[in-house]
């Protein structure tokens, strides 16, 4: 019974709160009990703030009783990637460097969640500073994939966010995304995950990886729940220089209106030519496209620049900005960085300033070309990742070769992108597709993702413990 | 990249790691040199995408404020 509560969607829990047959305290207790039992198996949480969660749940319960309805996240248990600052609660970014870091103030997104009456359960594992690898020398264990706990990588860098949502240890989690860090764990853990448009969600209080590429957004079991969280955390924040002064829509408006007539461009060359996706992954994307066509969407192939063009720009910008953000700590105490990040950080120091600037100049062209694609299409679909969850060992260690991935183009272009589960392979590991949209048009890609989920049975399957 | 270019990268990496109090073993040094060379090649490739006096993008959000 208690476990079943942890598999409710946010929308369902909200309906039951308001019907009076479930209380925020009961729901929060169910999550805390489940976390105690399941988290040791997957290490999704670095820190559980149970007492604070129960206090927040009691406040939510009181608000409901008094008729002060703060909206859909009232009383909803959520969790935060540990690179998102929380006042008076340790925020480590999964690094020894910040092992004792107690922020004085909540990040903008945390303030928004609290104002909406959400119940933060704790802080989630991630790749070190959202950029390292799960090497065994780190202060905390890496999160493990609930679909393959023995050795399955969750995808990164929002590792705990993907694992916690898939395992029913939070109804939604916040992640951050610089080159796929929300969408990759969403794909490998079988959840939905949305990287909003660059500028849609404030990064004030988010420990930076790359100032001009970072986004903050939700992972949740359903697309509808991602929309509900985005409603809460989106909005202009003058204290984030990248924040856009635009009105925020209600992203659940029109979610169920269907997709008849929507024009979908398929960026097939990203996963068939530029890089080659796993056979079952590619087949699941084709099957998903057939479902969307059956729902009335017009599906045609589209073409963007080769993945390598986006990859080059992302690496030059991302590595340079990462070093700029972390230079002080790396020079002063590099030994406290995990082995993998010791090397990766140094890469940024070796990129000439002029190469960084040329990449920013190239980025402008790539973004403009991506914007132009949306003259012909309402959304673009491609792979989120090329392969299902790989073994953890493949992602640990020292300096390693990188390869282009289909998530990076949308960080470079600064447009929103959503990962949606497209089923499971023969080994029972999740498969996924990625839906990208026009800048600030999250509503259309959420509508597509929601229509797909409603037409398929993939949300009925959960990992077994 | 020429042998001389690789040698210069090797020297700069050794200095950088020494300044941070770290040492690189031979295998890690070889892999770092390869990564830095890869990034230099990326720098050369992105130049193909830009016009003579193009401005950089920096942050896209404010540019799209309307």
Does B4 score more than 60 pLDDT?
A: yes
| Alpha carbon distance B61, B66 (integer Å) | 10
C-beta separation of A361 from A159 below 8 A: no
Q: Looking at the complex, does the CB of residue A403 fall below 8 Å from at least one CB of chain B?
A: no
For the segment A3-35, what is each residue's pLDDT rounded down to a tens digit? 999 999 999 999 999 999 999 999 999 999 999
Select from A82, A167, A85, A78 the least CA-distant residue to A124: A82
C-beta separation of A178 from A414 below 8 A: no
Residue from A23, A95, A135, A157 carrying the catalytic annotation = A157
Query: How much helix, strand and coil, in percent to the nearest 5, is found in chain A?
Result: 45, 15, 45
Domain-wise residue ranges, chain B: 3-50
Model pLDDT, residue A402: 79
| Alpha carbon distance A380, B40 (integer Å) | 31
Nearest CA in chain A to B29: A399
| Alpha carbon distance A166, A169 (integer Å) | 8
- Inspect the interface and report whether the beta carbons of B64 and A360 lie closer than 8 Å: no
3-class secondary structure per residue, A34-75: HHHHHHHHHCCEEEECHHHHHHHHHHHHHHHHCCCCCCCCCC
A181 is catalytic: yes
Number of alpha helices (DSSP H) and beta strands (DSSP E) in chain B: 3, 0
Model pLDDT, residue B65: 45
Model pLDDT, residue A394: 65
Which tokens in the block code for residue A316? 């030059």
Model pLDDT, residue A206: 98
Does B66 score more than 60 pLDDT?
A: no
Whether the full predicted model's pTM is greater than 0.90, yes or no, is: yes
Binned average pLDDT, 10 residues per bin, chain A of 465 residues: 91 96 98 98 98 98 96 98 98 97 98 98 97 87 93 92 98 98 98 96 97 96 98 95 90 96 98 97 98 98 98 97 97 93 93 97 94 97 96 67 91 97 97 97 98 98 95
- Inspect the interface and report whether the beta carbons of B55 and A440 lie closer than 8 Å: no
Chain B residues bordering chain A (beta-carbon distance below 8 Å) = 9, 12-13, 16-17, 19-22, 27-28, 31-32, 34-36, 38-40, 42-43, 45-47, 49-50, 54-62, 64-66
C-beta separation of A89 from A105 below 8 A: no
Element (H, E) at A363: helix A353-373
Nearest CA in chain A to B20: A331
- Inspect the interface and report whether the beta carbons of A198 and B17 lie closer than 8 Å: no
Q: Are strands A77-81 and A119-124 parallel, antiparallel or unpaired?
A: parallel
Q: Give ipTM to 2 decimals.
A: 0.93
- Inspect the interface and report whether the beta carbons of A363 and B21 lie closer than 8 Å: no
Model pLDDT, residue B55: 85
Model pLDDT, residue B60: 60
Q: In the 8-state DSSP scheme, what is residue A98?
A: G
Helices (H), A103-144: 108-115
- Inspect the interface and report whether the beta carbons of A399 and B31 lie closer than 8 Å: yes
Q: In the 8-state DSSP scheme, what is residue A273?
A: I
Model pLDDT, residue A110: 98
* Chain A residues near residue B43 by CB distance under 8 angstroms: 312, 316, 351-352, 354-355, 358-359
What domains are defined for chain A?
2-460 (3.90.1300.10)
Residue from A181, A210, A243, A407 carrying the catalytic annotation = A181
Nearest CA in chain B to A410: B60
Which tokens in the block code for residue A247? 């009105």
Count of alpha carbons within 13 Å of A430, Cβ hemisphere only?
Answer: 38
Beta bridge partners of A418: A194, A435
Model pLDDT, residue A195: 98
């Amino acid at each position: 019974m208690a476990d079943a509560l942890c598999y409710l969607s946010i929308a369902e829990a909200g309906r039951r709160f308001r019907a009076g047959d479930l209380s925020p305290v009961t729901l929060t207790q169910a999550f805390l009990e489940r976390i105690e039992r399941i988290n040791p198996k997957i290490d999704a949480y670095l820190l559980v703030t149970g007492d604070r969660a129960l206090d927040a749940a009691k406040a939510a319960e009181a608000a409901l009783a008094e008729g002060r309805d703060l909206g859909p996240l009232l009383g909803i248990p959520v969790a935060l990637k540990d690179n998102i600052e929380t006042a008076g609660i340790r925020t480590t970014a999964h690094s020894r460097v910040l092992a004792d870091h107690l922020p004085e103030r909540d990040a903008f997104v945390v303030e928004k969640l609290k104002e909406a009456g959400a119940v933060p359960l704790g802080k989630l594992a991630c790749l070190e500073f959202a950029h390292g690898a799960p090497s065994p020398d780190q202060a905390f264990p890496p999160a493990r994939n609930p679909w393959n706990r023995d050795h399955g990588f969750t995808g990164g860098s929002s590792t705990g966010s993907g694992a916690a949502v898939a395992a029913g240890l939070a109804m939604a989690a916040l992640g951050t995304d610089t080159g796929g860090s929300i969408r990759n764990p969403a794909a490998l853990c079988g959840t939905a995950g949305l990287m909003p448009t660059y500028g849609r969600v404030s990064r004030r209080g988010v420990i930076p990886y790359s100032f001009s590429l970072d986004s903050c957004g939700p992972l949740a079991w359903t697309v509808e729940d991602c929309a509900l969280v985005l409603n809460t955390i989106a909005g202009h924040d003058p204290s984030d220089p990248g924040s856009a002064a635009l009105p925020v829509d209600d992203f659940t408006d029109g979610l169920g209106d269907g997709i008849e007539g929507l024009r979908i461009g398929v960026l097939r060359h990203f996963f068939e030519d530029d890089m080659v996706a796993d056979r079952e992954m590619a087949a699941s994307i084709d099957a998903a496209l057939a479902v969307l066509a059956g729902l009335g969407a017009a599906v045609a192939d589209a073409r963007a620049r080769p993945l390598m063009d986006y990859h080059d720009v992302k690496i030059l910008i991302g590595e340079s900005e990462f070093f700029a953000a972390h230079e002080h700590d790396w020079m002063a105490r590099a030994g406290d960085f995990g082995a993998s990040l010791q090397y990766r950080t140094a890469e940024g120091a070796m990129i000439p300033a002029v190469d960084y600037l040329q990449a920013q100049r190239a980025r402008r062209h790539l973004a403009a070309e991506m914007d132009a694609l949306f003259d012909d299409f309402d959304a673009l679909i491609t792979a989120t990742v090329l392969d299902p969850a790989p073994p953890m060992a493949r992602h640990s260690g020292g300096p390693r070769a990188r390869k282009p991935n289909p998530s990076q183009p949308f960080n470079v272009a600064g447009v929103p992108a959503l990962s949606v589960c497209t089923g499971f392979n023969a080994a029972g590991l999740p498969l996924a597709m990625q839906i990208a949209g026009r800048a600030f048009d999250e509503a259309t890609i959420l509508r597509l993702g929601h229509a797909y989920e409603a037409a398929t049975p993939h949300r009925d399957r959960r990992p077994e413990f | 990249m020429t042998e001389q270019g690789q040698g210069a990268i090797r020297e700069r990496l050794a200095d950088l790691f020494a300044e941070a109090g770290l040492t690189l073993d031979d295998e890690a040094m070889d892999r770092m040199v390869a990564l830095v060379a890869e990034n230099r090649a990326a720098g050369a490739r992105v130049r193909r995408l830009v016009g003579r006096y193009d401005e950089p993008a920096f942050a896209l959000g404010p540019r799209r404020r309307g």
